[in-house]
Structure 1
């Protein structure tokens, strides 16, 4: 991921923290996979797996932050290296927040199961969005490892698909609640679950923007997609 430095130890430290970020990403992927399984099968066991992984994700975030702080204090990195280290820090924060959203999904699934309304709600549409979000995270991690700006732009485009799925799902839920007020409580749980999925997509988008910042040195947050594509070309 990085250019070689005069200090091989510095290279080793950068490679180590890069590997840790990827490991954290793998843990969060596992959380999301279990959350989707909990939703697909209404599985309390899968929901519990998500919550079990949460403490490991939180611990890794703290460890990576400490490692980054130590590297900055010891190496006093120049602009490009500092940009890389800051990108590691921001990617770590986004991954940890994705883990929080996966945990929120698991808790919502648990609530839906306990309400007894699980089978009567339109969860199949939500599973489509969840699969999209999971795939987007996988692509974001791969693009980050390769510093692939073209793949990063594709991720920004795909995030719009998740947003579209979310908007359609909200309209469908409103219809369910109007037609049968008894589903309101469980529908609201499902709405929060859908929002958690959308937020996972947003955090993958943030990582994609970090890739462009790293490679091009341009902060593309809050910019139109057409303008970002111009930067990457």
Structure 2
């Protein structure tokens, strides 16, 4: 298992600064996870109060992104980090951007859930399909953050491959919704909103993959974006 150790500096204060930044990212990740869980629950259970709570808490994620970004800027200015330290700061900046965007997708789930509860219940809700897709995405997000916390390349690569399952489920749901739209065009508004919810979940999966890719960059110094998994497997997994 490949990991990175960040406690090798002569300056204990520098160690503390890097560890504080890392812990703030994990705090932000925990909040984002909760937002995704609440957004999905609000959607599946038509819980308007919970949906409103998701919308209200989005600002907390935004504030954390700004705070961590400022901490990274201060480290770059004061410490002029190199090698793995510089990769950590760059990785954190990238990770918090994806976490903020996941928060936005969770907020969409809450917003669309409120819209859907005001519509007729005569059309299919596709709750079963949305729940399955949502559980896949939630597990990817949780595990990608765990891989980041442990700086575990093997886990990150395995998690990223699960995006294929998310894409498959998303495609199946899209086809079901498209078929129903042809059969009953009167439901176009509701079906589009359900599609947007599914798209939000699929995007959360994509952002989780990004986090996994950043873990590889952090530990290995290798940018694997836009690289096929066959090549990645042969380069890392078979060593």
Query: Which residue of the partner structure matches residue 162 of structure 1?
Result: 166
Instruction: Name the Cα RMSD after superposition.
Output: 1.2
**Alpha-carbon distance between aligned partners in 1 of 2:221 and 2:189, rounded to the nearest angstrom:** 47
Structure 1 range deviating more: 110-119 or 8-17: 110-119
Structure 1 range deviating more: 208-217 or 112-121: 112-121
**Alpha-carbon distance between aligned partners in 1 of 2:158 and 2:83, rounded to the nearest angstrom:** 27
**Alpha-carbon distance between aligned partners in 2 of 1:117 and 1:72, rounded to the nearest angstrom:** 54
Query: Which residue of the partner structure matches residue 83 of structure 1?
Result: 87
Query: Which residue of the partner structure matches residue 40 of structure 2?
Result: 36
**Alpha-carbon distance between aligned partners in 1 of 2:44 and 2:235, rounded to the nearest angstrom:** 40
Decide which of 15, 19, 22 is 2:23's aligned counterpart: 19
Asked whether the equivalents of residues 61 and 103 of structure 2 are also in contact (C-alpha less than 8 Å), the reply is yes
Deviations 1:71-117 (A, max 9, x none): 11010111221111000110111101000000011111111111234
Q: Which runs of 4+ in 1 moved over 4 A?
A: none
Deviations 1:168-202 (A, max 9, x none): 00000011111111211000001111110000000
Q: 1:102 to 1:130 in 2, by over 3 A?
A: same
Asked whether the equivalents of residues 123 and 187 of structure 2 are also in contact (C-alpha less than 8 Å), the reply is no
Query: Which residue of the partner structure matches residue 178 of structure 1?
Result: 182
TM-score (normalizing by structure 1) = 0.97
Asked whether the equivalents of residues 153 and 219 of structure 2 are also in contact (C-alpha less than 8 Å), the reply is yes
Decide which of 136, 141, 151 is 2:140's aligned counterpart: 136
**Alpha-carbon distance between aligned partners in 2 of 1:109 and 1:39, rounded to the nearest angstrom:** 4
**Alpha-carbon distance between aligned partners in 2 of 1:120 and 1:163, rounded to the nearest angstrom:** 22
- The 3-state SS of whatever aligns with 1:91 is helix
TM-score (normalizing by structure 2) = 0.94
Name structure 2 gaps, 5 residues minimum: none
Asked whether the equivalents of residues 87 and 210 of structure 1 are also in contact (C-alpha less than 8 Å), the reply is yes
More helix by share: 1
Name structure 1 gaps, 5 residues minimum: none
**Alpha-carbon distance between aligned partners in 2 of 1:83 and 1:94, rounded to the nearest angstrom:** 17
Asked whether the equivalents of residues 36 and 131 of structure 1 are also in contact (C-alpha less than 8 Å), the reply is no
